[in-house]
Amino acid sequence: MTVIFFHDPEFFPPLSFFHGLVNSDMWVVIDHTRYTSRSKHNRCRIKTETGGITLLAAAVKRPCNKPICQTVIDNNQPWKRYFLKVIANSYSQAPFYKDYVDDLTCLVLSPHVLLETLTVQSDLWVAELLGTSPKVACTKDYYPDLPRAEIEETFCRRLQATPFDKPFKHPHYQQLREPFEEGLSVLDALLCVGAKETRRLLDG
């Protein structure tokens, strides 16, 4: 039976997100619901060169009370330059930084207009590195007026599918700096241990 991962698009989300994505046949992108300011929709957690935690954000135009699928990136803000600078300062010594920094830079610098375009493309880029290419369907294209609470049941009934519901236990891996921090962006694992080991951690 087809397994569906139901989730909002997120900005370089943590491993828990990809635990669902790589273990499902389809990602139903819940994008017709309202964008949440100062959330994972446009922010991710990074461990800095000092060992502290910072939040890196993709700037969005205000007012930002629209659905996720209509939220516009504010490219007049210098967030892209700041994002790449913090990543370089924090991870340039990571074992796999050079393997992924060029593609990451291209993603961030691409002239995206909508936040959803950036986040979905980035999430699928990571998924491809992890060896999976799930089918993608967006709720705005099928049920733009359906309450979020009814999305899973409606899609699963239509496709004769089941929702992904396996519990996630955060794996430990070799981060650049102690102590180990859970819930960081997937970029931390990719740059520190590489895609192959990150996939092994998710499968384990």
Q: What is the mean pLDDT of residues 90-116?
A: 97
- DSSP code at position 150: G
Residue 130 CA to residue 143 CA, distance in Å, equals 30
Give pLDDT, residue 66: 92
Q: What is the mean pLDDT of residues 193-199?
A: 98
pLDDT above 70 as % of the chain:
100
Q: For the segment 143-192, what is each residue's pLDDT rounded down to a tens digit?
A: 999 999 999 999 999 999 999 999 999 999 999 999 999 999 999 999 99
Instruction: Break the chain into its structural domains and give their ranges.
Output: 3-203
Residue 51 CA to residue 59 CA, distance in Å, equals 24
Whether 94 has a pLDDT exceeding 90, the answer reads: yes
Whether 79 has a pLDDT exceeding 90, the answer reads: yes
Give pLDDT, residue 41: 97
Whether 204 has a pLDDT exceeding 90, the answer reads: no
The mean pLDDT value of the chain amounts to 96
Residue 85 CA to residue 134 CA, distance in Å, equals 31
Give pLDDT, residue 40: 96
Work out the pLDDT band at 137, boundaries 50, 70, 90: very high
Q: What is the mean pLDDT of residues 23-49?
A: 95
CB 55 within 8 A of CB 79: no
Structure tokens at 113: 């207009």
Residue 185 CA to residue 47 CA, distance in Å, equals 9
Give pLDDT, residue 101: 98
pLDDT above 90 as % of the chain:
96
Give pLDDT, residue 61: 94
Give pLDDT, residue 31: 97
Q: For the segment 55-69, what is each residue's pLDDT rounded down to a tens digit?
A: 999 999 988 889 999
